Amino acid sequence: MDLQLTNKIIIVTGGAKGIGEGIVKVLAKEGAIPVIVGRSEEDNLKVVHAVEVAGGKAFQVVAELTQPEACEQAVNAVVKAFGRIDGLVNNAGVNDGVGLESGNYEKFMASLHKNVVHYYLMAHFALPELKRSKGPILNITSKTADTGQGNTSAYAAANGGRNALTREWAVELLKYGIRVNAIVVAECWTPLYENWIKTLPDPGAKLKEIEAKIPLGNRMTTAEEIANAAAFLLSERSSHTTGQLIHIDGGYVHLDRALANA
């Protein structure tokens, strides 16, 4: 299926690693020009180079998204380079373990800036260009807003905010023909996830325990599977889809866990 993404300029925050990297690479394969926005120029350029080696095009902007002014500067840099923005993927964030017992006001607020405030700011600053292009917004969110996790109050709150903003923006932007959707991620294998599981006493056993609870295939979701869904939602092939929270998770959140071992 031709997703009609050729030469579309699509910002992907946190596009240098994990799910963001997967989205960048799939968009480039579809002919789009993804723009990585992330704090590390070295990491950004590695992915740009990988895309170019594979025959695609990509661009990068260095920005520390926890700083509001950096969000505006990043958007301005993209407009200066290309003259337009055709889509926005809000993806950057980290599950930083700021819990109710373990955290405090300063850590909680800092986590919100890491995980949801820049979602709002990037959409706000990109909106004039998105109105011109009728470009879609895609928010990457986490199942923690649905299920809880424990010891991650700030991250769960941020993801609840991401989900709410998805529906709020879908309503507010109807008049401009801008679609807004979210992909809700559960257990997806990324470098961050791998680093986390390596900190546990028996990583292999813990991974098997987690995979056993994922109904479809008893395996982790891949970044490419998230990315494939993202590319579709960013394309005109999903032209009548808006305000949706789509779980790409092998049934982890909504199916009976008893099915996992059936």
Question: Domain holding 147: CATH number?
Answer: 3.40.50.720
Note down the domain range covering 234: 9-249+256-261
136 found inside a domain: yes
Q: What is the pLDDT of residues 221-252, one digit of tens each?
A: 999 999 999 999 999 999 999 999 999 999 99
Task: Give the pLDDT of residue 158.
Answer: 98
What letters, b where the CB count within 10 A reaches 16 and e where it falls short, cover 224-246? ebbbbbbbbbbbeebeeebbbbb
101 in a structural domain: yes
Q: Which pLDDT score is estimated for 260?
A: 65
DSSP bridge partners of 89: 12, 138
Q: According to the model, what pLDDT value does residue 2 have?
A: 93
Q: Does the residue 108 lie in any domain?
A: yes
Does residue 4 form part of some domain? Answer: no
Parallel, antiparallel, or unpaired: how do β-strands 180-185 and 188-189 relate?
Answer: unpaired
Low-confidence ranges of the chain (pLDDT < 50): none
In a domain? residue 135: yes
Q: How many domains are there within the chain?
A: 1
- Tell me, what's the pLDDT at 32? 98
Task: Give the separation between CA 93 and CA 91, rounded to whole angstroms.
Answer: 6
Tell whether 161 is covered by a domain. yes
Catalytic residue numbers, as ranges: 155
Residue 80 CB-half CA count within 13 A: 8
The pLDDT of residue 196 is 86
Does 118 fall in a domain?
A: yes
> pTM of the full predicted structure?
0.96
Please report whether residue 109 resides in a domain: yes
Burial class for 85, CB neighbours closer than 10 Å (0-12, 13-18, 19+): buried
